[in-house]
Amino acid sequence: MISIFLGPPGSGKGTQAKRLSNLKGWPQLSTGDMLRGNIQAGTKLGLEAKSLMDQGLLVSDSVVIGMIDERINASDCSNGFILDGFPRTIIQADALNELLELKNLKLNRVFEFSIPDEVLISRLTGRRTCLKCSSMFHIVSAPPKIFNICDKCGSELVQRQDDSEEVISKRLKVYHQQTSALVQYYSDKNLIKKIDATLSVEVVEKNILALI
């Protein structure tokens, strides 16, 4: 199955994509994680992306389309995959249609994570991530067992550069200006499944599974 997790920053796309990936074996293709991987590795692409990401702006369409094009050719994607944070513009959505068509693949579902902006600020300012294994925590709703240490691999947890209140506001603005139009785009194709993302992690997961 090929699905898209579409929603504003902090709506829980990454959390749910990881859980679904663990349950079903479909890899999570997160353009945000791929870009952060490039930043960590100090690649040219990472250097260019960093200043845009730190400002809460989108990286160019051609860069992320190229990354997805390459990634979906990998053998672990042959039974399906979960697109987390891609597409984010109409240009990216059109490019995805073309890529899938070329490979004779079909997009099955687009899960729209619906949640008011007010809830997202506290979710994002409290988020802590493991740089080593990408596990995610929240200082209030999902704290690690030991302060600032990853439960899974024991590495130190960090706060993402773009999780300051100022950059979060910018990211939300960018979402409403450039990405939310995709809800209508995929509604017109009859692919949208709306998810109430204000509910607990477990209930959101149950609701997604019921729609698969």
- The catalytic residue positions are 13, 88, 127, 160, 171
**Which two tokens mark 49?**
């992306």
Q: Which residue reads 């490039």 in tokens?
A: 38
HEC assignment per residue over 87-141: CCCHHHHHHHHHHHHHCCCCCCEEEEEECCHHHHHHHHHCEEEECCCCCEEECCC
Which one of 6, 10, 28, 186 is in contact with ligand AP5 (CB under 6 A)?
Answer: 10
**Which two tokens mark 204?**
């959101």
Whether 157 contacts 129, CB under 8 Å:
yes
Footprint (CB under 6 A) of ligand AP5, residues 23-82: 30-32, 35, 52-53, 56-59, 64
Q: Does 142 bind ligand AP5 (CB under 6 A)?
A: yes
User: Least distance in Å: CB of 152 to ligand AP5?
Assistant: 14
Whether 38 contacts 45, CB under 8 Å:
yes
Which one of 79, 97, 141, 177 is in contact with ligand AP5 (CB under 6 A)?
Answer: 141
Closer to ligand AP5 by Cβ: residue 75 or 118: 118
Positions touching ligand AP5 (CB under 6 A) are 7, 9-15, 30-32, 35, 52-53, 56-59, 64, 85-86, 88, 92, 123-124, 126-127, 136, 138, 141-142, 162, 171, 200-201, 204
